[in-house]
A and B are shown apart, each in its own frame.
Chain A
Amino acid sequence: MKVWIAVLVMWAAGLLPVAALGQSVAPAPPANLTAVDHDWDDGTRIDLSWTLSLGDSSLQGYLIRKKTAEDATFTVVDTVPPGTNRYTVSDLIRNHPYLFQVVAISKDLTESSPASTSAPVAPTMQWLDGTRVWFLVILLVFCGSVIAFIELARRGVPLKVRRIAGLEAIDEAVGRATEMGRSCLFVPGIGDLNDMQTIAGMSILSRVAKTAAEYNAQIEVPTSHSLVMTAGQEAVQGAFLAAGRPDSYNSDKIYYVTDEQFAYVAHIQGYMTREKPAACFYMGSFFAESLILAEMGNAIGAIQIAGTGQPAQLPFFVAACDYTLIGEEFFAASAYLSGEPGQIGSLKGQDVGKLIVAGLVIAGVIAETLVVLTNSPAMRAFVDYLTRKVLS
């Protein structure tokens, strides 16, 4: 600390040339630096370990440097606090030999002589990514439970699920549109087909279209991507067929407008004021246009049901629509609407997922609290393992 103040004082006086720093005593260097390939990875990591410097307790830390065999100079990777004797270097190039250096740095930032690796080491790739094993376990447990419940349901085990208000309103909305002799508008959002929200929206579209076909109501689906239009046509055609009214299907009603978000909205809001659909469904991936659509629908007095997985847009749908399917409810909707036992089973699987979350959070919170209260190293290790390995 004293040295530190002295350095500052001298520096403030502008008296201290850089070379002066070099005159302070260099700390004892670390020793026995070894580098080995990190096991079970994608070939980008190497593990370093070394023996601590003799004066470890008075150090600022260790500086780790790397260079490829052909590089002229070493570059800094990271600094680690005193007492650390191992480090995993990541973001390396696969099968590329590297050399490493570790130096001790004293509190006045003097570097020791380096400990170096003697021969170059190259990171290699294994066929399984070990850092993702815990993730694989979680994935298998979760997907396994979804599939298991789907199987159970298909075998006739009765599964009970709660009501979701917005979904029961769909029939009512389509029915009202029929009574009024107006159309139903279905907006699948501005996501393309590489977004699960759009695909979930297509699923809901097929149910809504089926209801519409049964009621003999008009359904209008403007889309903002050609692929979504194609998938939408397939879904609606299938729905009309399933409802036994293939002749009422009109592919012109599922059409492409433009890829541009706001031009798409300009078209829809124009359509809404002119044709005054009685029921509006917004199901898919939405961005800023959510409020324009919902306010427009409100102005023309349509029943509006929205569902999206874009958290930022939920407030606007909640404020302006009659019913909003929030996040997970939106994805659950197609299962509900289908009424097929297999699909209902998947909802139970989702609940298992939530139980896993609750369990992990509660266990973690208790352990983390105990760490603070008792300072127990075993608890610390448990929390570290949980957050760094299991949930990484």
Chain B
Amino acid sequence: MKRETMIWAAIMLLGAGTLIWRAAFTTNGMGREYVRAVPVGNGQWNRYDPATYDDYIRSESANPNQREYLLSIPRTICLWIAAFFTIAIFSFLYRDNPIYKIVEAIYVGLSAGYWMVIAFWDVLIPNLLGKVWPTMIQKWAMPGLSGPDAKRDFWYLIPLVLGIMLLWRMAPRGDWIARWPLAFIIGTTAGLQLVAYLHGDFLEQIRSSILPLVVNNLGAFDFWASVENLIVVVGVLSCLTYFFFSFEHTGFVGKTANVGIWFLMITFGASFGYTVMGRIALLAIRIEFLLDDWLWLIDPLHRHTR
């Protein structure tokens, strides 16, 4: 254990040294974020759009006194933090460690807050308070909300009341009252999904399984297309047999169910194989972030070469 710690400490020191050397003592450096200042309104304040080192150098060589393209210190710091996050998460693949634990804690807290902020500004304000007290919301945060003649929509008192009942759970007594909104949600979900799945998936899938077993293609018998249709129909029916609950999987039913399992396995194998490409693309994007955006080791889009 002791030796391992030392090896890791050495690797980290070496890595940190390389980073400092690269950032500070090479011609191009690495990991800096540039911005372009764009005046907004009547020039009351500037918006800072992302720009590249390349933009900056070009504009600087045209006019050394330009103030349009700038190095952004906060964004540069944040870029390094983002790179740290990336490496910290990947470090979990080796083993659980304090750095991962810290980043995990940051991530959990940050994302919980993130979604609550979104729910507040995107749902509660426009869809609840904006409906129940439109004028107040207009005066405060959303002047454009539902036009100048916004009227109260009293239907929205229902979710408001249900919501308050839900929050009653935190009260010391009578927390059973929270079951009412829960029952409302579960009941309406059941109703909506019952109809949606039966009308959508169920009928749709039956309809698309109705295929001719003999395919006529421009007047000629198309053997392969016919075989394909036959396979689809047999496949659907045998998989359904597999799902049958009333019979044990023995005898004829068992054999058909077995064919069904084969179809399912082929389906799963195909989906698995097909998904690999997308997952690798995700990893490639992360590694490109590290090599390109942060380390400036590669530059396919010519963003940070002189």
Contact = CB atoms under 8 A, between A and B. Distances in A.
Please tell me whether chains A and B touch each other in their complex, using a CB distance cut-off of 8 A.
yes
A319 B182 contact: no
Contact of A348 (B89, B109, B198, B245): B245
A138 to B, nearest CB: 7
A330 to B, nearest CB: 11
A364 B205 CA distance: 13
Interface residues of B, number: 61
Interface stretch (B49-57, B143-151, B232-240): B232-240
A138 B195 CA distance: 11
A269 interface: yes
B247 interface: yes
A373 B272 contact: no
Contacts of A135: 198-199, 203
Contacts, number: 162
A260 B212 contact: no
A196 B190 contact: yes
A125 interface: no
A192 to B, nearest CB: 9
A161 B246 contact: yes
A319 B275 CA distance: 14
B65 interface: no
B21 interface: no
Contacts of B89: 266
Interface residues of A, number: 65
A278 B61 CA distance: 64
Contact of A351 (B116, B207, B245): B245
Interface in B4-59: none
Contacts of B206: 357, 360-361, 364, 391
Given A266-B89, A387-B207, A257 B185 contact: no
21 contacts: A135-B199, A160-B246, A162-B245, A163-B248, A194-B192, A196-B197, A230-B178, A230-B182, A231-B186, A234-B182, A258-B111, A258-B115, A259-B116, A260-B107, A260-B115, A263-B111, A315-B268, A357-B206, A365-B209, A365-B211, A368-B210
The 3 nearest A-B residue pairs measured at CB? A364-B210, A260-B111, A315-B268
Given A259-B115, A315-B267, A315-B271, 8 more contacts: A138-B203, A230-B166, A258-B111, A258-B112, A263-B112, A267-B104, A270-B96, A372-B212
